Amino acid sequence: MLITCKRSLALLFATSLMLLPAIGFADGWQLNMTEGVTSISKEVYKLHMTVFYICCVIGVVVFGAMFVSMFLHRKSRGVKASNFHESVVLELLWTIVPALILIVIAIPSTTLLKKIYNTDDAEIDILITAHQWKWQYEYLGEDVSFFSISSTPPSQINNEEEKGEHYLLEVDKPLVIPVGTKVRFLVTAGDVIHSWWVPDLAVKRDAIPGYTNEAWTQVEQEGVYRGQCAELCGKDHGFMPIEVHVVSKAKYAEWIGAKKDEVLAIAEASKKVLELDELMATGEEVYNTNCASCHQADGKGLPPTFPAIAGSAIAMGELSGHLNRVINGGAGMPPFGEQLTPVEAAAVITFQRNSFGNDMGQLVQPIDVVTFKQGQ
């Protein structure tokens, strides 16, 4: 009796697990794939559900037969085991029927895959370059290129502050694309393999150094869509989110115009002479966003891979050496010359030379950075 009871419990457990996807739950209990916001993502979702339901039916038949057998054909019920152990008809049947089911699944899969591989012209081409651990977006043919970095503050990650709604799924500068427009992504990487994935767009493409992959999307609904890097890419693989803002065509035009103006504004700002406290404040900010993941917030680094800034020969040495390392990279560190504006570069160098016990007492101005870059 106890055994029967256990078994029916197990049965209940198994079936309830299978039924779960049909029930909607509140946040935190999301069960199923997103339908997404593109025609492709909706078809992907439909195909996913079709195959899932086919699996459920097969499961009910197979497990049903098993449970019936386990209930009826128990020695404790006094049954005698029969001795059949072969049946050509049966064995042919369960070779052919699954094969037919597979063909039924293969047809829509092939059609959908062909749609995903469509190579029609796109209105906008965006080059996505993955770096450890940030994304770079370059609007090809426009004068717009920027880096996109996780904007979740370390205090949230270290549990000193309550986590926001978009914890680890938020960035400083999102990718902006217009609604109802075919956008093509060219995906590549600068160091190791990453993978650019936004579930709502049903786009996941590996970013591979030396190769350029292609994907496209046409989003039908304005909104903010979030994703993450999907291929293990080292220490901060879990901390390189993606944020896509889909806006109206007019807003997009406005945005891209503003981005172009920003380039001029940065050039203007680079000519200013800044005070120490201004530089230190900006520098600390820049340090925490760009440097702290490797060199750590306390400047002690994670030797031997990520050396300390505190007491480092470069931060305490010639300024040109420090400028060179930050702008051109080296010894395993990526170059930040493109990513940081001259103001940011000057500020962070000033900060590094006057923090963590480093006391160079030296101010680095944006113009120094510009001169260094030109003088090379």
Partner 1 sequence: MAAEQKKTKHILIKLLGLVVAMFVFAIWVMPPLYNLICDVAGLNGKTQGQYVSAVAAEVDTSRWVKVQFVAVNNEGMPWEFQPNEFSIKVHPGEATVTHFVAKNPTDSIMVGQAVPSMVPSNATNYFHKTECFCFNKQTLGPGEEAELGLRFIVDQDLPKAVKTITLSYSLFDVTDMSDSDVESKEQELQALHTNELSILTEFVPDKPRNNYIHVANRMQPLI
Partner 2 sequence: MAHGPAKGISRWLFTTNHKDIGSMYLWFSFAMFLLGGTFALVIRMELFQPGLQIVEPNFFNQMTTMHGLVMVFGAVMPAFVGLANWMIPMMIGAPDMALPRMNNWSFWILPFAFALLVSTFFMDGGAPNFGWTFYAPLSTTYAPDTVTFFIFGVHIMGASSIMGAINIVATILNLRAPGMTLMKMPLFVWTWLITAYLLIAVMPVLAGVVTMMLMDIHFGTSFFEAAGGGDPVLFQHVFWFFGHPEVYIMILPAFGIVSAIIPTFARKPLFGYSSMVYASASIAFLSFIVWAHHMFTVGMPLFGELVFMYATMLIAVPTGVKVFNWVTTMWQGAMTFETPMLFSIAFVILFTIGGFSGLMLAIAPVDFQYHDTYFVVAHFHYVLVPGAIFSITAAVYYWLPKWTGKMYDETLGKTHFWLAFIGLNVTFFPMHFSGLAGMPRRIPDYNPLWADWNMISSIGAFLFGGAQILFLYIVIRAIVSGKKATDRVWEGSHGLEWTVPSPAPYHTFTTPPPKEDMQSY
Give, as ranges, the residues between 71 and 110 that touch partner 1 (CB under 8 A): none
Alpha carbons 258 and 174: distance in angstroms, whole number: 14
Alpha carbons 372 and 327: distance in angstroms, whole number: 9
Alpha carbons 80 and 272: distance in angstroms, whole number: 95
**Identity (one letter) of the amino acid at 142?**
E
Looking at the Cβ atoms of 37 and 364, the one nearer to partner 1 is 364
The entry of partner 1, partner 2, none that residue 255 binds, CB within 5 to 8 Å by partner kind: none
Residues facing 130 on adjacent strands? 135, 189
Looking at the Cβ atoms of 9 and 267, the one nearer to partner 2 is 9
Interacting span for partner 1 (CB under 8 A) from 45-53, 126-134, 172-180, 346-354: 126-134
**Burial profile 188-226: b = 16 or more Cβ within 10 angstroms, e = fewer:** bbbbbebbbbbbbbbbebbbbeeeebebbbbbeeeeebb
The dihedral built from the CA positions of residue 116, 119, 122 and 126, taken in this order, carries a sign that is positive
Question: Between residue 191 and residue 210, which ones bind partner 2 under the rule CB under 8 A?
Answer: 191-193, 195, 197, 199, 202-206, 208-210
Whats the size of the chain, residue-wise? 376
Question: Considering just the CA atoms, what is the radius of gyration of the chain in Å?
Answer: 29
* 53 in contact with partner 2 (CB under 8 A): no
Looking at the Cβ atoms of 3 and 140, the one nearer to partner 1 is 140
* DSSP-derived secondary structure for 223-235: EEEEEEE-S--ST
Query: What is the strand order of the sheet 223-229 is part of?
Result: 175-178, 241-247, 223-229, 194-198, 203-207
Considering only the C-alpha atoms of the chain, give the largest distance between any 2 of them, rounded to a whole number of Å: 96
* 317 in contact with partner 1 (CB under 8 A): no
* Least distance (Å) between residue 283 CB and partner 1: 19
The entry of partner 2, partner 1, none that residue 179 binds, CB within 5 to 8 Å by partner kind: none
Q: Which of 158, 132, 219, 133 is nearest to 183 (CA)?
A: 219
Looking at the Cβ atoms of 225 and 372, the one nearer to partner 1 is 372
Interacting span for partner 1 (CB under 8 A) from 71-79, 175-183, 337-345, 354-362: 337-345
Residues facing 351 on adjacent strands? none
Alpha carbons 260 and 252: distance in angstroms, whole number: 12
* DSSP-derived secondary structure for 135-175: EEEEETTTTEEEEE-B---HHHHTTSSPPPTTTTS-BSS-E
Looking at the Cβ atoms of 98 and 209, the one nearer to partner 1 is 209
Query: What is the strand order of the sheet 134-139 is part of?
Result: 144-148, 134-139, 124-131, 183-189, 213-217
Q: By the 8 A CB rule, do 242 and 148 touch? A: yes
Question: Between residue 291 and residue 310, which ones bind partner 1 under the rule CB under 8 A?
Answer: none
* Least distance (Å) between residue 140 CB and partner 1: 6
The single residue among 259, 281, 296, 360 that binds partner 1, judged by CB under 8 A, is: 259
* Least distance (Å) between residue 225 CB and partner 2: 11
The single residue among 82, 250, 277, 374 that binds partner 2, judged by CB under 8 A, is: 82
* Least distance (Å) between residue 238 CB and partner 2: 3
Tell me, residue by residue from 143 to 172, as one string, x for binding to partner 1 by CB under 8 A and - for no binding. xxxx--------------------------
* Least distance (Å) between residue 231 CB and partner 1: 16
**DSSP 8-state symbol, 291:** I
The entry of partner 1, partner 2, none that residue 249 binds, CB within 5 to 8 Å by partner kind: none
The single residue among 8, 12, 13, 318 that binds partner 2, judged by CB under 8 A, is: 13
Where on the chain is the footprint of partner 1 (CB under 8 A)? Answer: 119-122, 125, 127, 129, 131-132, 138, 140-141, 143-146, 186, 188, 190-191, 209-214, 259-260, 262-264, 266-267, 270, 324, 327-330, 332-335, 337-339, 341-342, 370, 373-374, 376
